[in-house]
Amino acid sequence: MTVEGPRLFRPGPMLEALEAESVAYIVIGGTAAAIGGARHVTFDLDITPDRNVANLDRLATALRKLNGHLYGMPAAAEDSFQLDGKTLAAGSAWKFLTDHGELDISLDPDGTRGYKDLRSGAIETQAHGVTFLVASLEDVIRSKEAANRPRDREALPELRRTLELKRRRER
Amino acid sequence: MISGDLLREARRRAGLSQAELARRACKPTSVIGRWERDEVKPSFETLRELIEACGFDLRVSLADHDQSQDAAIEASLDLTPEERFARLEAWAAFLAEARKSAA
């Protein structure tokens, strides 16, 4: 079992805030791995939003409602940071600390072509009265293989075995 | 992973349709579909060529077979995705609480 953290992590309110603003996104990373069947414990919610600016504007609104602050940004610099769709579109990855834990945004996760690419394999899931899309285990593995960080390499054997056993059941 | 899954995954990653892969590999489109659905299995060499046509190398090596985690993974797969999400939340809450207690 892979365990990160532990830190405050309440994904429910984060999903509710995204839903309230009608943000189009896909849950990726450790949370997607756990939902896909891996015995993975994570302490952040990773998402890939649709990168059109109107959607990213809605995401910015949700982040403000979650009291999101850019991770690692000095308080003095925070006043000059404009949290809106245009700003989010200018980067590829953002890490926000919210009142409910860390919300990581990746517009182009490693090894993928972003939202539209992940959308085709994503699976609808429900929690907290919210229906949301979760990246397939295949895509989580694909991204972790491409990222190839030490923690990805550590998690991959179990993810691959989970996928293998899952496919065996589906046959 | 069986050959059909591997071939479909390679084709998807490459962003190719079955027809495009068939053209690249000089095979009939219908055969690509039958291989992906595991109705018939390509030879190892054919599979390797198809994977290459998708832009990847098929690397094979020998490793000890490890089934030590299978029971726990199977138990996880018995849950619905919603139950797995609830379990993740419960674990995260438990570990965060444990951290607070230890501090």
Of residues A3, A41, A167, nearest to B5 (C-beta): A167
Task: Give the minimum alpha-carbon distance from B26 to chain A in angstroms, rounded to a whole number.
Answer: 26
Closest CA to A103 of A4, A12, A2: A12
- The total domain count for chain A is 1
- A131 to chain B: closest CA residue: B82
Range of the domain at A7: 2-170
Give the C-alpha separation, B74 to A169, whole Å. Answer: 10
3-state secondary structure of B38: coil
Cβ atoms within 10 A of the Cβ of B15, count?
11
Reported pTM: 0.79
SS3 content of chain B, % helix, strand, coil (to 5): 65, 0, 35
Give the C-alpha separation, B6 to B75, whole Å. Answer: 25
Size of interface A-B (CB pairs under 8 A): 96
Give the C-alpha separation, B47 to B50, whole Å. Answer: 5
Residues A21-38: what's their mean pLDDT?
Answer: 96
Average pLDDT across chain B, whole number? 88
Give me the residue spans of the domains in chain B. Answer: 3-53, 75-102
Give the C-alpha separation, A12 to A45, whole Å. Answer: 10
Residue of A15, A123, A136, A165 for testing the chain B interface, max B β-carbons within 10 Å = A165
- Classify the complex by whether its ipTM is higher than 0.95, answering yes or no: no
CATH number of the domain within which A134 lies = 3.30.460.40
Closest CA to B14 of A6, A115, A142: A142
Q: Do B81 and A10 touch (CB under 8 A)?
A: no
CA dihedral angle for residue B8, residue B10, residue B14, residue B20, rounded to 10 degrees: -50
Residues of A in contact with B76 (CB under 8 A): 37-39, 162
- B81 to chain A: closest CA residue: A35
Cβ atoms within 10 A of the Cβ of B90, count?
10
Q: Is the pLDDT of residue A95 over 70?
A: yes
Q: Do A125 and B88 touch (CB under 8 A)?
A: no
Residue of B8, B65, B91, B100 for testing the chain A interface, max A β-carbons within 10 Å = B91
Residues A18, A25 contacting (CB under 8 angstroms): yes
Task: Give the minimum alpha-carbon distance from A113 to chain B in angstroms, rounded to a whole number.
Answer: 10
Of residues A34, A37, A41, nearest to B77 (C-beta): A37
Q: Is the pLDDT of residue A3 over 90?
A: no
What's the token pair of residue B47?
A: 């599979």
Average pLDDT across chain A, whole number? 91
If phi > 0 it is left, if psi is from -120 to 50 it is alpha, else beta; for residue B29 that is: alpha
β-pairing, A40-41 vs A2-3, is parallel
- Per-residue pLDDT tens digits for A116-137: 999 999 999 999 889 999 999 9
- A163 to chain B: closest CA residue: B1
Report the pLDDT value the prediction gives residue B19, as an integer from 0 to 100: 96
Class of domain B3-53: mainly alpha
**Which letter, b or e, does each residue of A9-31 get, where b requires 16 or more Cβ atoms within 10 Å of its Cβ?**
bbbbebbbbbbebebbbbbbbbb
- Per-residue pLDDT tens digits for B25-75: 999 999 999 999 888 989 999 999 999 999 999 988 887 777 878 999 999
Task: Give the minimum alpha-carbon distance from B11 to chain A in angstroms, rounded to a whole number.
Answer: 13
